[in-house]
Amino acid sequence: MSVISKTLFGFALTTTFCAVAFAQPVMPDPGHLPIVPPDKIKWSGDANSPMQQATLFGDPSKPGPYGVLIKWNPGHFSKPHFHNTERWAYVISGTWWVSSSNVYDESKMYPLPAGTFATDVAGTVHYDGAKAGGPPAILELVGMGPVTTIQVDETGNPKPR
For residue 104, the model assigns a pLDDT of 96
- On whether the CB atoms of residues 140 and 69 are closer than 8 A, the answer is yes
Under the phi-then-psi rule, with left for phi > 0, alpha for psi from -120 to 50, and beta for the rest, what region is 17?
alpha
pLDDT mean values, one per 10 residues, the chain (161 residues): 62 60 86 94 89 97 98 96 98 98 96 98 97 96 97 88 68
SS3 of 1-21: the string is CCHHHHHHHHHHHHHHHHHHH
Structural domains in the chain, CATH included, are: 38-151 (2.60.120.10)
What's residue 38's pLDDT? 92
Q: Look at residue 66 in the predicted model and tell me its pLDDT.
A: 98
The answer to whether the pTM exceeds 0.85 is no
The phi, psi pair for 66, rounded to 5°, reads: -145, 160
Distance CA 90, CA 141 (A): 7
Instruction: For the chain, state the CA radius of gyration.
Output: 24
Cβ–Cβ contacts within 10 Å for residue 98, how many?
21
Name 130's bridge partners.
76
